[in-house]
Protein backbone atom coordinates (compact mmCIF):
# COMPACT_ATOMS: atom_id res chain seq x y z
CA UNK A 1 0.00 0.00 0.00
CA UNK A 2 1.07 3.57 -0.60
CA UNK A 3 1.35 5.94 2.36
CA UNK A 4 1.17 9.56 1.14
CA UNK A 5 3.17 12.28 2.87
CA UNK A 6 2.24 15.86 3.78
CA UNK A 7 -0.85 17.06 1.88
CA UNK A 8 -0.78 14.35 -0.79
CA UNK A 9 -3.66 12.00 -1.55
CA UNK A 10 -3.69 8.60 -3.28
CA UNK A 11 -6.66 8.23 -5.64
CA UNK A 12 -7.94 5.18 -7.46
CA UNK A 13 -9.27 6.56 -10.77
CA UNK A 14 -12.86 5.62 -11.62
CA UNK A 15 -13.32 3.92 -14.96
CA UNK A 16 -15.22 5.97 -17.50
CA UNK A 17 -18.14 4.41 -19.28
CA UNK A 18 -17.66 4.29 -23.04
CA UNK A 19 -20.49 6.09 -24.76
CA UNK A 20 -21.86 4.93 -28.08
CA UNK A 21 -21.12 7.46 -30.78
CA UNK A 22 -18.77 9.45 -28.52
CA UNK A 23 -15.81 11.52 -29.66
CA UNK A 24 -12.34 10.13 -29.04
CA UNK A 25 -9.84 12.76 -27.96
CA UNK A 26 -6.06 12.45 -28.36
CA UNK A 27 -4.04 11.81 -25.18
CA UNK A 28 -2.71 15.38 -25.13
CA UNK A 29 -6.21 16.78 -24.78
CA UNK A 30 -7.61 14.11 -22.46
CA UNK A 31 -4.80 14.73 -19.94
CA UNK A 32 -6.10 18.29 -19.43
CA UNK A 33 -9.63 17.34 -18.37
CA UNK A 34 -10.84 16.67 -14.86
CA UNK A 35 -10.92 13.11 -13.56
CA UNK A 36 -12.94 11.37 -10.87
CA UNK A 37 -11.65 8.86 -8.36
CA UNK A 38 -11.91 7.34 -4.92
CA UNK A 39 -9.53 8.44 -2.15
CA UNK A 40 -7.56 5.38 -1.04
CA UNK A 41 -5.23 7.14 1.41
CA UNK A 42 -4.56 10.69 2.60
CA UNK A 43 -1.45 12.17 4.15
CA UNK A 44 -1.42 13.80 7.60
CA UNK A 45 -1.65 17.33 6.19
CA UNK A 46 0.69 20.19 5.41
CA UNK A 47 2.96 21.58 8.12
CA UNK A 48 2.55 25.38 8.36
CA UNK A 49 4.38 27.41 11.04
CA UNK A 50 4.93 24.25 13.08
CA UNK A 51 1.24 23.28 13.01
CA UNK A 52 -0.25 20.43 11.02
CA UNK A 53 -3.18 21.53 8.82
CA UNK A 54 -5.47 18.48 8.33
CA UNK A 55 -6.75 17.59 4.86
CA UNK A 56 -10.35 18.27 3.84
CA UNK A 57 -10.69 14.86 2.17
CA UNK A 58 -10.65 11.42 3.74
CA UNK A 59 -10.36 7.79 2.70
CA UNK A 60 -13.46 6.70 0.77
CA UNK A 61 -14.37 10.15 -0.61
CA UNK A 62 -15.19 10.35 -4.33
CA UNK A 63 -13.38 13.39 -5.71
CA UNK A 64 -12.87 15.38 -8.90
CA UNK A 65 -9.22 16.26 -9.53
CA UNK A 66 -7.36 18.07 -12.27
CA UNK A 67 -3.98 16.31 -12.54
CA UNK A 68 -1.53 14.10 -10.67
CA UNK A 69 1.26 11.57 -10.88
CA UNK A 70 0.25 8.14 -12.11
CA UNK A 71 1.84 5.15 -10.36
CA UNK A 72 1.34 1.39 -10.54
CA UNK A 73 1.58 -0.69 -7.34
CA UNK A 74 0.91 -4.45 -7.23
CA UNK A 75 -0.64 -4.25 -10.70
CA UNK A 76 -3.16 -1.52 -9.79
CA UNK A 77 -3.03 2.03 -11.13
CA UNK A 78 -3.28 5.00 -8.77
CA UNK A 79 -2.90 8.75 -9.06
CA UNK A 80 -1.10 10.78 -6.39
CA UNK A 81 -2.17 14.42 -6.13
CA UNK A 82 -1.56 17.34 -3.80
CA UNK A 83 -4.75 18.38 -2.02
CA UNK A 84 -4.91 21.65 -3.98
CA UNK A 85 -5.35 19.57 -7.18
CA UNK A 86 -8.65 18.23 -5.82
CA UNK A 87 -11.47 20.40 -7.13
CA UNK A 88 -14.50 18.89 -5.36
CA UNK A 89 -15.90 16.04 -3.29
CA UNK A 90 -18.93 14.29 -4.77
CA UNK A 91 -21.69 13.42 -2.26
35-42 and 8-13 strand pairing: antiparallel
pLDDT at 32: 52
- Average pLDDT on 37-58 reads 96
Across the chain, the runs of DSSP E, i.e. the strands, are 8-13, 35-42, 46-48, 51-53, 62-65, 69-73, 76-82, 86-90
67 pLDDT band, cuts 50/70/90, is: confident
pLDDT at 74 over 80: yes
The reply to whether CATH 3.40.50.720 applies to domain 8-14+34-90 is no
The domain spans of the chain are 8-14+34-90
- Average pLDDT on 25-33 reads 52
User: Are residues 35 and 64 in contact, defined by beta-carbon separation less than 8 angstroms?
Assistant: yes
pLDDT at 18: 46
How far CA 12 is from CA of 1, 19, 20, 23, in Å, comes to: 12, 21, 25, 24
In angstroms, rounded to a whole number, what is the distance separating the alpha carbons of residues 27 and 69? 15
- Average pLDDT on 19-38 reads 61
What is the maximum alpha-carbon separation in the chain? 54
pLDDT at 19: 44
- pTM, 2 dp: 0.80
Mean pLDDT of the chain: 86
Amino acid sequence: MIKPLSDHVVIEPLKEEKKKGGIILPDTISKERQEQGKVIAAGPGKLVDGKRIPLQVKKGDIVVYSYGHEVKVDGKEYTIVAEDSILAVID
